[in-house]
Amino acid sequence: MVAVFAKCKVVGGKEKIFVDLAHELAEKSRAESANVSYDILSEIDKDNGEFFFLEKWKDKAGLDEHMATDHFKNIIAEVQKIIEGELEIHVYEAI
């Protein structure tokens, strides 16, 4: 299993647009055969515009296939228009 934990800070006022985009990406990603789980998170008791993608994939090949899909590329392109800086992405493997 590989896991992705990605963080972004959404521009003030764009939170609703972000959440809708993130939920659309989550739904389409969960339908991929290599997906284990896909969650959109915020840190508990914080309201600072930071949101997180928590994803689990069967293996690195499945994650690579996901990042080549149209839904990933198109929705992330939209997300990048409404966040400050870049998505901060880390990839992990289960040990």
Q: What is the dihedral of CA 15, 21, 25, 27, to 10 degrees?
A: 90
Closest CA to 5 of 85, 63, 62: 63
Task: List binders of a copy of itself among 25-54 (CB under 8 A).
Answer: 37, 39-44, 51-52, 54
Q: How far is the CB of 65 from a copy of itself (least distance, A)?
A: 16
State residue 67 phi and psi, 5-degree precision.
Answer: -75, -10
Q: How far is the CB of 48 from a copy of itself (least distance, A)?
A: 12
Residue 23 tokens read as 């939920």
Residue 3 interacts with a copy of itself (CB under 8 A): yes or no: yes
Q: Which residues bind a copy of itself (CB under 8 A)?
A: 1-3, 5, 19, 37, 39-44, 51-52, 54, 56, 60, 90-95
